[in-house]
Structure 1
Amino acid sequence: MTGLERALHHLARLSAYLSGLLILSAALVTILDVVMRSVINRPFFGANDIVLYLLTIGVVGFFPLMVDSAHHIKIEVLGSRLGRRGVRLVEGFANLVTLLVLAGFTWQFLLRGNRLASFGDASQILQLPVAPMWWIGAGFMALAVVIQAVMVVTGHSQRVPVGQTLDEYERRR
């Protein structure tokens, strides 16, 4: 594994940890809102806006790890019939298609963020601008694109499983 691949691997894991914290925070805000409604008969002002931000960024933030660990949907029907070379060709094509789809998502996230910024769109209650949410999502998607691009260029389709550290993975190879 090259230095670039190691750095991208660590960035993917870091984005997943951050995303996990964001999703946990969204759950806590939701629980606090429910408790406040039940106990003091008042909602947590702006809870929906906060949860929208936290969940949107939190879910998209897992994409780099998904790509880095190859936990995306993979269909391996033809593997035994194509032979080793055929499998490599199919994997290379699938990796290229995945790269193009992720790049398309990134582009659309940026366009959406720019469009929302030009209109000055904001959340309903707290009036938070929504464009930054899309730009942050585009940043996470761009990291996934870079990871996938390295996979396409190097031809390395075997990735570090989520349950293993980088050192464990390299010792087993």
Structure 2
Amino acid sequence: MEETKRLLPLTERIMRIIAAACLVGMAAMTGADVVMRGAFNTPIFGCEEIVSILGVVAVGFALPYAHYQKSHIGVEILVRRLPKRVRDVFGLVTNLATLFLAAIITWRMYDYAGTLSESGEVSMNLELPEYMVVYVLAFGFLVYSVCLLSDIVKYFTGRRG
């Protein structure tokens, strides 16, 4: 049981590092492409695809971190003025609704990735398999869903922060 409690924060931390590395990679690729275009009139072949893929990974892998940092959009002006108990109930309802939506997105993305895999769909220039990117994004949503579920369980067990 103790290992399970540590697995989710460890997974979130690793995903956060990967998301940050993807952002650095996006900036480096874009900068290198601009320099190559300007100095040598030669763009980096497939740069747009690579930057797009890195962007997808960055967004998908940053979801759990954004959740734990409470970086998502909220109506703080209204909610901040409510009593703590009401704010906690709002948080629970929001987490339940978000979990429902994130679980559906995870399922449909996983299903879509399978369809892409069967069809052999590849990216236009580099011919990278597109289903892999969709699987990675589905994984990000899966971990995000588990984070939401963890917060819901904490609410009902009285261990919320």
Task: Tell me the TM-score normalized by structure 1.
Answer: 0.80
Aligned partners of 2:47 and 2:123: how far apart in 1?
Answer: 11
TM superposition shift of 1:91: 2.1
The one-letter code sitting in structure 2 at the alignment partner of 1:53 is I
Give the CA deviation at 1:5: 4.0
Paired residues for 1:12-161 under 5 Å: 12-76=12-76, 77=78, 80-81=81-82, 83-155=83-155, 156-158=159-161
* AA aligned opposite 1:104: I
Give the distance between the partners of 1:69 and 1:78, measured in 2 at CA. Answer: 17
Q: Quick check: which one's helix share is greater?
A: 2
Helix, strand or coil at the partner of 1:20: helix
CA distance in 1, matches of 2:28, 2:122: 23
Asked whether the 8 Å contact 1:68–1:144 carries over to 2, the reply is: no
Which residue identity lines up with residue 33 of structure 1 in the other structure? D
Superposed CA RMSD in Å reads: 2.0
- Residue 66 of structure 1 and its aligned partner are, at CA, apart by 1.3
Q: Is the 8 A contact 1:103 1:142 kept in 2?
A: yes
CA distance 1:72–1:5, change in 2 (3 Å): farther
- Percent identity over paired residues: 25
Distance 1:157 1:17 in 2: 26
Partner Cα distance (1:78, 1:45) in 2: 49
Separation in 1, partners of 2:72, 2:80: 17
- Which amino acid in structure 2 is aligned with residue 18 of structure 1? I
* Distance in 2 separating the partners of 1:30 and 1:154: 42
Per-residue CA distance 1:89-132 (angstroms, 9 max, x = gap) = 32221111111121122122212212222221111111111110
* Counterpart code for 2:95: N
Unaligned runs of 5+ in 2: none
Name the aligned partner's letter for residue 53 of structure 2: Y
Counterpart of 1:9? 9
Q: Deviations over 1:58-91 (max 9, x none)?
A: 121100111222222223425645x444333322
The size of the alignment, in residue pairs, is 156
Q: Which moved more, 1:68-77 or 1:124-133?
A: 68-77
Distance 1:18 1:6, change over 3 A: same
79 and 56 in structure 1: CA distance in 2 versus 1, 3 angstrom threshold: closer
